[in-house]
Amino acid sequence: MTPALPDILRGNFLCLAIPGPPEQQGEFMATRVGVVALLSLLAAQEVERGTTARVWENDAIAAVLAEAAEVYGVQYAEVAQTTAKDLSLEALDRANAALRRGLIALHEAVENAGDLPRHQAIVGLYGQMADNRRLDLPPLPAR
């Protein structure tokens, strides 16, 4: 997914390391530091859950595509064969992009066919995908 975790962590460094003009100090910079801290918290969640979520999602999409291939065409079985070359987030995301493109095409075909059970199954998968990738914001008090 974008932005990638390494981009965010490098960005956190850059946005604090590059000095801003005088009018961007004070409240603006204090808020920026707070946002960087928040991003660090979210990054910790992504480190903890991100690989597991991607591995699960890639397997789940591949299963849906493979199962649908008999009805909707062998091209979905071919996409379902997509695997990541390793467990890095980059490799998992590259495979995920191919699988998601296959899922988008399949869902469109399912809708055109009026195939309600498979449509509902795909929508259910969307819910699981979104939930596995969720990031939790702490309930910070208002200042």
Partner 1 sequence: MSDLKAGLEAYLTELWGAPTAVTNLSRIPGGASRETYRLDADTGGVTRGMILRRDPPGSLIDTDRRLEFLAYRTVHGHAPVPQAIALEEGGGALERPFFLMERIDGGTVPSPFVFDPYGEHAQALGEQFFTILGKLAALDHEGTPIREATQAPAPEDCWRIALDHWSAVIEADEQHPQPVVRAAIRWLYRHPPPPAQRISIVHGDYRTGNFMHDGAGKILAILDWEMAHLGDPIEDLGWAFDPLWNHFDEAKVGGLIPQAEAIAIWEATSGLKVDPASLAWWSLFNAVKGQAIWTSAAREYRDGGFTDPILAVSGWYTARRHDLILASRLAALEAI
Q: Confirm or reject binding of residue 117 to partner 1 (CB under 8 A).
A: no
Residue among 63, 56, 59, 64 nearest 120 (CA) = 64
- Stretch of 65-73, 78-86, 103-111 contacting partner 1, by CB under 8 A: 103-111
Q: Confirm or reject binding of residue 78 to partner 1 (CB under 8 A).
A: no
Residue among 143, 87, 4, 8 nearest 95 (CA) = 87
Dist. CA 96–CA 89, nearest whole Å: 10
Binding interface with partner 1 (CB under 8 A): 1-3, 7-8, 10-12, 14-15, 18, 21-28, 31-32, 35-36, 38-39, 42, 93, 96-97, 100-101, 103-104, 107-108, 111, 114, 116, 119, 122-124, 126-127, 129-131, 133-135, 137, 139-143
